[in-house]
């Protein structure tokens, strides 16, 4: 009798753990950098501090291909856009860079919801694990 | 008094109180409370004094000329902190203090999403500045002409009472001068030298900060604050300090 009980408990344990594992797999697809691009968020600090871009949100989330942006809107090379003179909001409003989609119809317009991408000095600090309040201590 | 004498005395506890005396006392308490309550709840005091009329002053009722003020178009702030850096450079602000800074708040968008709102803050150059009121040496005062709340560092004894009194945390103790330091709308560093605007306004790439003379109806600050269908607010209006830094979202 005892053995049967033990087996039953063990069985339930196995079953539930199996279900948990399966659940996890179903819920979160593995992030593959070869398909979706670098997982680390990109932070631009020029021309203003600090603007974030996440491949994850755009490729895995919005289901865009690499070709949607590379190499027409953005060069593959990291930090290349930042060096361009025309990497400004004015260019975005004319459909350049992020503005190609962020025009109000495909995605929210570039002149709205500023802080979605502009995470600022505080946001940048938080992202790299620093203290966002550094400047305010007294 | 010896303990024996003490024992001989009448007890002062509640048992010795007649019910009439209790009633009298209660009545007095109610009368005093009623007087105060009546003043605020029943509006026996003037509503105008309660400051419910809104934060934007009536046209023409600006005590100073030029009446310097700042309008902050909050929604546009991206926390690039160029204003902060420009202020530090222009006014020699040490790393441990600030004359202006950016605060941050988060608003839920539902569905686990959040929106960040950056809020630039600085001295509000209040019409009724609590800091000026508490200063024991008149080291900080309201400039009679412009209404700017200025510091006279040699007069400051470093008691820091003004720092406690300020509703906006806009003051810090500067060790280099052994005096409290604060924003003066760049009066010493720029305005007095013929410049027309502050360093932070000049540095802002998003046109968040607008500086000018509120008493001049052609100025941008006047037009923004008095624009129709605009939500205008100030920070901590309940303190009654009547601040001159206005926040809008358009």
Give B15-49 pLDDT, tens digit per residue.
777 888 889 999 999 988 887 776 555 555 554 54
Instruction: Please check the confidence at residue B177 and state whether its pLDDT lies above 80.
Output: yes
Instruction: Please check the confidence at residue A15 and state whether its pLDDT lies above 90.
Output: no
pLDDT of res. B14: 75
Instruction: Please check the confidence at residue B52 and state whether its pLDDT lies above 50.
Output: no
Taking CB atoms and an 8 Å cutoff, what residues of chain B touch A122? 79, 102, 104, 118
Mean pLDDT of all residues in B195-211: 96
**Residue A107 to residue A117: CA distance in whole angstroms:** 13
pLDDT band for position A131 (50/70/90)?
Answer: low
If one looks up domain A33-136 in CATH, what number appears? 3.90.10.10
* Residue B117: count of CB within 10 angstroms of its CB: 17
DSSP string spanning A11-43? HHHHHHHHHHHHHHHHHSPPP-HHHH--SSPEE
Instruction: Please check the confidence at residue B50 and state whether its pLDDT lies above 50.
Output: no
For chain A, positions 87-126, list CB contacts with chain B under 8 A.
Answer: 113-116, 118-123
Instruction: Please check the confidence at residue B237 and state whether its pLDDT lies above 60.
Output: yes
pLDDT: which is higher, B187 or A20: B187
Nearest to A120 among B97, B118, B205 (CB): B118
Q: What is the largest CA-CA distance in chain B?
A: 84
* Cross-chain residue pair A120–B115, CB shorter than 8 Å: no
- Closest among A46, A43, A66 to A54, alpha carbons compared: A43
* Cross-chain residue pair A48–B82, CB shorter than 8 Å: yes
**Residue B101 to residue A132: CA distance in whole angstroms:** 12
pLDDT of res. B155: 96
Contact with chain B for residue A54, Cβ under 8 A: no
Question: How far from A92 is each of A89, A96, A115, B63, B104, CA to CA, in Å?
Answer: 5, 5, 16, 44, 26
Looking at domain B68-127+182-248, its CATH architecture is 2-Layer Sandwich (3.30)
Mean pLDDT of all residues in B189-215: 96
Give the ipTM: 0.72
**Residue B149 to residue B138: CA distance in whole angstroms:** 11
Instruction: Please check the confidence at residue B4 and state whether its pLDDT lies above 90.
Output: no
Question: Average pLDDT over chain B, rounded to whole?
Answer: 90
For chain B, positions 10-69, list CB contacts with chain A under 8 A.
Answer: none
Instruction: Please check the confidence at residue A11 and state whether its pLDDT lies above 70.
Output: no
Give A62-107 pLDDT, tens digit per residue.
999 999 999 889 998 888 899 999 999 999 999 999 999 999 999 9
* Cross-chain residue pair B98–A138, CB shorter than 8 Å: yes
CA distance B94 to chain A (A): 10
pLDDT of res. B180: 97
Mean pLDDT of all residues in B227-237: 93
pLDDT of res. A19: 60
Share of chain A above pLDDT 90, in %: 55
Taking CB atoms and an 8 Å cutoff, what residues of chain A touch B89? none
pLDDT of res. B182: 97
pLDDT band for position B53 (50/70/90)?
Answer: low
pLDDT band for position B51 (50/70/90)?
Answer: very low
Taking CB atoms and an 8 Å cutoff, what residues of chain A touch B172? 138
Contact with chain A for residue B172, Cβ under 8 A: yes
Give B114-168 pLDDT, tens digit per residue.
999 999 999 999 999 999 999 999 999 999 999 999 999 999 999 999 999 999 9
pLDDT band for position B6 (50/70/90)?
Answer: confident
CA distance A132 to chain B (A): 10
* Cross-chain residue pair A118–B104, CB shorter than 8 Å: no
Tokens linked to B181: 């330091």
């Amino acid at each position: 009798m005892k053995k049967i009980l033990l087996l039953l408990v063990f069985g339930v344990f196995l079953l539930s753990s199996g279900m948990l594992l399966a659940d996890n797999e179903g819920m979160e697809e593995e992030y593959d950098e070869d398909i979706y691009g670098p997982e680390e968020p990109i932070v631009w600090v020029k021309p203003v501090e600090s603007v974030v871009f996440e491949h994850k949100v755009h490729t895995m989330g919005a289901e865009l291909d690499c070709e949607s942006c590379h190499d027409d809107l953005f060069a593959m090379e990291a930090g290349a856009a930042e060096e361009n003179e025309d990497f400004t909001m004015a260019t975005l409003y004319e459909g350049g860079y992020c503005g190609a989609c962020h025009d109000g119809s495909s995605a929210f317009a570039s002149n709205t919801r500023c802080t979605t991408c502009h995470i600022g000095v505080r946001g940048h600090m938080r992202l790299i694990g620093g203290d966002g309040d550094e400047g305010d201590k007294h | 008094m010896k303990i024996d004498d003490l024992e001989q005395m009448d007890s002062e506890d509640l048992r010795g109180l007649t019910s009439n005396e209790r009633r009298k006392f209660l009545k007095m308490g109610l009368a005093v409370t009623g007087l105060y309550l009546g003043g605020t709840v029943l509006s026996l005091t003037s509503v105008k004094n309660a400051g419910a009329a809104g934060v934007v002053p009536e046209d023409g009722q600006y005590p100073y000329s030029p009446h310097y003020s700042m309008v902050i178009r909050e929604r546009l702030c991206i926390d690039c902190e160029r204003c902060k850096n420009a202020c530090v450079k222009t006014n020699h602000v040490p790393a441990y203090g600030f004359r202006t800074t950016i605060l941050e708040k988060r608003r839920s968008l539902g569905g686990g999403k959040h929106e960040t709102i950056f809020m630039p803050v600085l001295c509000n150059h209040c019409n009724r500045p609590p800091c000026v009121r508490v200063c024991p040496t008149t080291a900080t005062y309201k400039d009679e002409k412009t209404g700017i709340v200025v510091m006279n560092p040699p007069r400051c004894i470093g008691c820091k009472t003004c720092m406690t009194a300020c509703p906006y945390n806009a003051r810090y103790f500067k060790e280099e001068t052994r005096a409290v330091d604060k924003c003066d709308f760049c009066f010493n560093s720029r305005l007095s030298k013929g410049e027309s605007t502050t360093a932070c306004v000049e540095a802002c790439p998003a046109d968040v900060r607008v500086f000018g003379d509120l008493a001049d109806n052609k100025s941008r600050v006047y037009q923004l604050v008095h624009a129709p269908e605009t939500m205008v607010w100030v920070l901590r209006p309940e303190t009654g300090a009547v601040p001159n830094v206005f926040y809008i979202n358009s």
